[in-house]
Structure 1
Amino acid sequence: MTTTDFHLAGPFAPVHDELTAYDLPVTGALPPELTGWYLRNGPNPRSDSKHWFFGDGMVHGVRLEHGRAAWYRNRWVHTDSFDQPNSPIYNPDGTRNLRNGSANTHIINHAGRTLALVESSLPYELTNDLDTIGAYDFDGELADSMTAHPKICPTTGELHFFGYGSLTAPHVSYYRADAAGKLVVKQPIDVPGLTMMHDFALTASHAVFYDLPVVFDPATVGNGMPYHWDESYGARLGVLRRNDPTAGVRWIEINPCYAFHTLNAHDTADGRIAVHVIRHDYMWRNGSDRAPGQLWRWTLDPATGTVTEECLDDRPADFPRIDDRLTGTDVRFGHVTHLVVDGGPSVLRRHDLHTGASAEHRFTPAQIPGEAVFVPAQDGGGWLLTYVYDRTTDRSDLVVFDAANVAAAPVATVHLPQRVPIGFHGNWLPEG
Structure 2
Amino acid sequence: MDPSPSINPWLAGNFAPVRSEDDFVLEVEGEIPPGLRGAFYRNGPNPQFEPRGQHHWFAGDGMIHAFFVDGGRVAYRNRYVRTPKWLLENAAGRALFGGFDPRAADPSVVGKDNGVANTNVVWHAGRLLALEEAHMPFELDPGTLEPRGYVESYRGRVTAHPKIDPETGEMLWFAYSAGGWFTKTMSWGVTDASGRVTRRDDFEAPFSSMAHDFLATRRHALFPVLPLTGDLGRAMRGGPPFAWEPDKGAHVGVMARDAGVGGMRWFTTEACYVFHPMNAWEEGETIVADVMEYPVAPLFPRPDGSTPDRTPARLVRWTFDLAANSDTIRREPLDDLPGEFPRFDERRAGLSYRHGWFAGQSDLPRGEGFDCIAHVDLATGRRTLYPFAAGDSPGEPVFVPRAPDAAEGDGWIVALVYRGAEDRSDFVVFDAGAIEAGPIARARAPRRVPFGFHGNWRPA
Do they superpose with TM above 0.5?
yes
Output the aligned Cα RMSD.
Answer: 2.3
2:72 to 54, 67, 74: 67
What does residue 211 of structure 2 align with?
197
2:257 to 217, 242, 256: 242
In structure 1, C-alpha distance between the alignment counterparts of 2:205 and 2:307, rounded to whole Å? 25
Q: CA deviation at 1:271?
A: 1.4
In structure 1, C-alpha distance between the alignment counterparts of 2:137 and 2:421, rounded to whole Å? 36
Q: CA deviation at 1:421?
A: 0.5
Q: Output the amino acid matched with 1:14.
A: P
What does residue 428 of structure 2 align with?
399
Q: CA deviation at 1:332?
A: 0.2
Q: Output the amino acid matched with 2:65.
A: H
Q: Output the amino acid matched with 2:420.
A: R
In structure 2, C-alpha distance between the alignment counterparts of 1:109 and 1:345, rounded to whole Å? 27
Partner SS state of residue 313, structure 1 = coil
What does residue 339 of structure 2 align with?
317
Q: In the alignment, is the contact (CA less than 8 A) between 1:343 and 1:366 conserved in 2?
A: no
In structure 2, C-alpha distance between the alignment counterparts of 1:185 and 1:343, rounded to whole Å? 41
1:9 to 9, 12, 23: 12
Superposed, which structure 2 residues align to 1:180-195 within 5 Å?
Answer: 180-195=194-209
Superposed, which structure 2 residues align to 1:42-121 within 5 Å?
Answer: 42-49=44-51, 50-69=55-74, 71-85=75-89, 86=96, 99-121=113-135
2:292 to 270, 274, 278: 278
Q: Output the amino acid matched with 2:340.
A: D
Alpha carbons of structure 1 residues 280 and 87: separation in structure 2 relative to 1, 3 Å: closer
Alpha carbons of structure 1 residues 164 and 344: separation in structure 2 relative to 1, 3 Å: closer
Number of aligned residues: 420
Q: In the alignment, is the contact (CA less than 8 A) between 1:345 and 1:365 conserved in 2?
A: no
What does residue 374 of structure 1 align with?
399
Which segments of structure 1 move beyond 4 Å, counting only runs of 4 or more? 86-90, 96-99, 167-170, 221-225, 339-345
Superposed, which structure 2 residues align to 1:117-128 within 5 Å?
Answer: 117-128=131-142
Q: Output the amino acid matched with 1:171.
A: T
What does residue 36 of structure 1 align with?
38
Q: CA deviation at 1:260?
A: 0.5
Partner SS state of residue 232, structure 1 = helix
In structure 1, C-alpha distance between the alignment counterparts of 2:243 and 2:307, rounded to whole Å? 9
What does residue 359 of structure 1 align with?
384
What does residue 281 of structure 2 align with?
266
Alpha carbons of structure 1 residues 115 and 336: separation in structure 2 relative to 1, 3 Å: same
Identity %: 39
Partner SS state of residue 407, structure 1 = helix
Q: CA deviation at 1:123?
A: 1.4
In structure 1, C-alpha distance between the alignment counterparts of 2:431 and 2:372, rounded to whole Å? 15
Q: In the alignment, is the contact (CA less than 8 A) between 1:388 and 1:396 conserved in 2?
A: yes
Alpha carbons of structure 1 residues 21 and 225: separation in structure 2 relative to 1, 3 Å: farther
Q: Output the amino acid matched with 1:34.
A: L
In structure 1, C-alpha distance between the alignment counterparts of 2:147 and 2:273, rounded to whole Å? 33
In structure 1, C-alpha distance between the alignment counterparts of 2:262 and 2:112, rounded to whole Å? 28
In structure 2, C-alpha distance between the alignment counterparts of 1:223 and 1:118, rounded to whole Å? 24
What does residue 151 of structure 2 align with?
136
Q: Output the amino acid matched with 2:50.
A: D
Partner SS state of residue 118, structure 2 = coil
Partner SS state of residue 155, structure 2 = coil
Alpha carbons of structure 1 residues 98 and 288: separation in structure 2 relative to 1, 3 Å: farther
In structure 2, C-alpha distance between the alignment counterparts of 1:64 and 1:212, rounded to whole Å? 39
2:315 to 286, 292, 295: 295
1:207 is the counterpart of 2:211: no
Which ranges in structure 2 are unaligned for 5 or more consecutive residues?
90-95, 103-109
1:152 to 160, 164, 177: 164
Q: CA deviation at 1:241?
A: 0.5
Partner SS state of residue 386, structure 1 = strand
Which ranges in structure 1 are unaligned for 5 or more consecutive residues?
91-95
1:416 is the counterpart of 2:436: no
Q: Output the amino acid matched with 2:427.
A: L
Q: CA deviation at 1:137?
A: 2.1
Q: CA deviation at 1:224?
A: 8.9
Of the structure 1 ranges 304-313 and 106-115, higher mean CA displacement relative to structure 2 is found in 304-313
Partner SS state of residue 437, structure 2 = coil
Q: In the alignment, is the contact (CA less than 8 A) between 1:250 and 1:302 conserved in 2?
A: no
Deviations 1:14-44 (A, max 9, x none): 112111113x210000011111111100011
Q: In the alignment, is the contact (CA less than 8 A) between 1:29 and 1:412 conserved in 2?
A: yes
What does residue 415 of structure 2 align with?
386
Partner SS state of residue 240, structure 1 = strand
Deviations 1:275-333 (A, max 9, x none): 00011111135344343111100010122233211111222110000111110011100
What does residue 92 of structure 2 align with?
none
In structure 2, C-alpha distance between the alignment counterparts of 1:345 and 1:266, rounded to whole Å? 28
Q: Output the amino acid matched with 1:261.
A: H
Q: In the alignment, is the contact (CA less than 8 A) between 1:204 and 1:266 conserved in 2?
A: yes
What does residue 93 of structure 1 align with?
none
2:185 to 162, 171, 177: 171
In structure 2, C-alpha distance between the alignment counterparts of 1:256 and 1:19, rounded to whole Å? 44
Q: CA deviation at 1:392?
A: 1.8
Q: In the alignment, is the contact (CA less than 8 A) between 1:8 and 1:14 conserved in 2?
A: yes
Q: CA deviation at 1:169?
A: 6.2
